[in-house]
Amino acid sequence: MRGIGGGGWSAEETTTFGFPRDTFRILHVSTGNVCRSPITERLTRHFVAERLGVLGGGLIVESAGTWGHEGAPMESHAETVLAEFGADATGFVGRELLDEHVITADLVLTATRDHRAQVISMGHSAGLRTFTLKEFTRLVRAIDPATLPPLEDGVVMRARALVRAAAALRGWLLAPTAEADEVYDPYGAPLTFFRSIGDEIRDALDPVVTALTGVPART
């Protein structure tokens, strides 16, 4: 479905890679696709629905793992964390990251820099649309919301503009430390560590979803 190759998108463009352009697909990537990326996927869906009343408007949120546990359920602690945020873990099934997932993604958000490098190494013009989650958050915070299309123009158009703006800022706004862009793996850890990772993911997602939807979180 999309890629934002070096030239970006044009208003006349209706398809990329042969897929329709009326949707915007966010792909969250971690290692096993049973802890971090499921939490991030389902929290993204939850936060968008909170702001817009529904997860729709062409926005699709998915996840996969670079060493994905194909067909596996989400880790029970991850389900608990999602439930504590009020998010729905129902029906989740783990997936191994495939070329088609990268090809069809408009925005890829990874847990770590290693995941980002693995996605980019798959090709498919993924470089400009692949970020670590925390990297994307840092870039989004620097973008003036007034420069983005209004929500009335549709969340898809707004999301595409947000990714272009973030890609343009990369290289100018560097992380204070290498570790600042990492979300560490809680696999096998106690629930308290899962909760801390959940808090990290929530804090990183909040400004991203606000920028995507143009609607701040409910206080």
Q: How do residues 60-74 score in pLDDT, each as one tens digit? A: 999 999 998 899 999
Cα–Cα distance, 35 to 161 (Å, whole number): 29
The band of 130, judged by pLDDT with boundaries at 50, 70 and 90, is: very high
Return the amino acid letter for 2: R
CB 198 within 8 A of CB 81: yes
- SS3 of residue 6 by DSSP: coil
Cα–Cα distance, 159 to 21 (Å, whole number): 12
Tokens read off for 118: 């693995």
Q: What is the pTM of this model?
A: 0.89
SS (H, E, C) 12-73: CCCEECCEECCCEEEEEEECCCCCHHHHHHHHHHHHHHHHHCCCCCCEEEEEEECCCCCCCC
Assess whether pLDDT exceeds 50 at residue 212: yes
Beta bridge partners of 65: 30, 96
End-to-end CA distance of the chain: 35
pLDDT of residue 46: 96
CA 123, 126, 132, 133: dihedral to nearest 10 degrees? -140
The band of 1, judged by pLDDT with boundaries at 50, 70 and 90, is: very low
- 27 closest CA partner among 115, 86, 151, 91: 115
Give burial (CB, 10 Å; 0-12/13-18/19+) of 18.
exposed
Note the residue count of the chain: 219
Return the amino acid letter for 10: S
Assess whether pLDDT exceeds 50 at residue 7: no
> Could you give phi then psi for residue 107, rounded to 5 degrees?
-145, 125
* pLDDT digit string, tens, across residues 143-196: 999 999 998 899 999 999 999 999 999 888 787 887 899 999 999 999 999 999
Assess whether pLDDT exceeds 80 at residue 104: yes
Assess whether pLDDT exceeds 90 at residue 124: no
